[in-house]
Structure 1
Amino acid sequence: MTRGNSSRTPARRSRPRTISVSLSDRGQTTQDFAVGIGVFLLAVAFIFTYVPSLVTPYDSSVGGAETAQANRIADRIVENTTDSSTPNELNGSLYQERFADDPENLIAELGLRANDDDDVFDRVNITIESLGDDSVDDADWSGGHVYDDQTAASSARIVTIDDDDGSIDCDPGCRLVVRVW
């Protein structure tokens, strides 16, 4: 038996083709790089915004309603105790008569929420602080509930006080601070 040429030569195996690619012909394009960096930056931004909320204490923070209420009360105090042509100049005796008092008297004066038994739902502290070196006697110039550095919304106004008896020194000015919690 005679075998043909095909039987004597070993079977040809197909060799894998190799392709040489230069650096300018590689698969990553500028658009691929931009998309990758964009996804990476979004992931980093998400982590920085989400992780702090995981480690904050579970204390209720001050909301927008309390902040708006503090602003409203501060505006009402300045508007109701200014009796001169000078803006933000409070009448000292009128302020002490109306606002430097116990919290129950502030219900009608400031429009605080309360039930029929005069239990106040909104806690408010009103204080006048000196901007100068002299301190202010808190008993005469603050009113409302006692503020013990708890979380509260606050609003401040720079005012001067027309005080006949000279019990407060507002030189160069004073700060009216309203805190609501």
Structure 2
Amino acid sequence: MRSERRSTARGQTTQDFAIGIGIFLLSVAVVFAGISSVTTPTDPVGDAERGQADRIADRLVAEFAAHNELDGDRLADALEAGGTDRLLELEGGPADEGSVRLERLDGTTLERADGSPVLEAETTPYEGQPAASSARIVALEGSFELESGADDPASRLVVRVWT
């Protein structure tokens, strides 16, 4: 009689194991896909703003630099005359506001001997809103009397746009 029970009892088959593991792996993959999309931060700055910042930086270097030596006097005069408003209009795009500044490579503002910035122009003051920026490494050329310790020939031209 015992032998009859064994023949009618069913154990786990290879197909049952394969289906169970397949469902388990599919469930794990769905959970990880869902978690990554939930935890990824949304970027408030779009590709259009990044493109606009790149175009403005490229244009400034093309118009006011020769062999990456930025003519700071001409650029400062042009920005004072037309301002960054003109650059934003010419380059088109979603950004309403922007700024152009010249910094040292460590990120601090490059200043003249009197403490004023060598080049800093903006449409309105930046107040921490999301912004796209683009930077170009240039050498500064011009009649600037720079602060002490600003002997490094390389500077960073930073263009930032925001809406």
SS for the counterpart of 1:90 is strand
Which position in structure 2 is the counterpart of 1:176?
Answer: 157
Please give the TM-score of this superposition, normalised by the length of structure 1. 0.65
| Bigger RCO of structures 1 and 2 (CA < 8 A, at least 6 apart) | 2
* Pairing partner for 2:9 from 9, 19, 30: 19
Specify the SS of the correspondent of 2:158. Answer: strand
Deviation of 1:36 after TM superposition, in Å, equals 2.4
Contact preservation (8 Å) 1:160, 1:170: no
Structure 1, unaligned runs of 5 or more: 1-14, 114-120
* Cross-structure match for 1:77: 60
The CA distance in 2 between the partners of 1:172 and 1:132, in whole Å, is 13
Map Cα deviations across residues 87-112 of structure 1 (whole Å, 9 max, x no partner). x210111121113x38x633334516
Larger strand share, 1 or 2: 2
Q: 1:73 to 1:163 in 2, by over 3 A?
A: same
Question: How far off its partner does 1:148 sit?
Answer: 2.5
Q: Does 1:158 align with 2:137?
A: yes
Aligned pairs, number: 148
SS at match of 1:61: coil
1:130 aligns with 104
Q: What's the counterpart of residue 142 of structure 1?
A: 120
Q: Give TM-score, length-normalised by structure 2.
A: 0.71
Pairs within 5 Å for 1:19-38: 19=9, 21=11, 25-30=13-18, 32-33=20-21, 35-38=22-25
Summarize deviations over 1:10-31 as a string: whole Å, max 9, x none. Answer: xxxxx9873254x7x4543446
RMSD, aligned α-carbons: 3.3
Match for 1:50 among 30, 37, 47? 37
Deviations 1:36-87, CA, capped at 9 Å, x for gaps? 244123212232133236xx69xx811111110000000001111013xx3x
Q: CA shift at 1:170, angstroms?
A: 5.8
Deviations 1:119-170 (A, max 9, x none): xx62011111112697523643110232232210111111111123333636
Q: For the residues of structure 2 that align with 1:160 and 1:46, how far apart are their CA atoms?
A: 47
Contact residue 67 and residue 155 of structure 1 kept, 8 A: yes
Write 1 or 2 for the structure with the bigger share of helix. Answer: 2
Name the SS of the counterpart of 2:8 in structure 1. Answer: coil
| 8 Å CA contact 2:53, 2:132 repeated in 1 | yes
- Structure 2: 5+ residue stretches without partners: none
SS of the counterpart of 1:136? coil
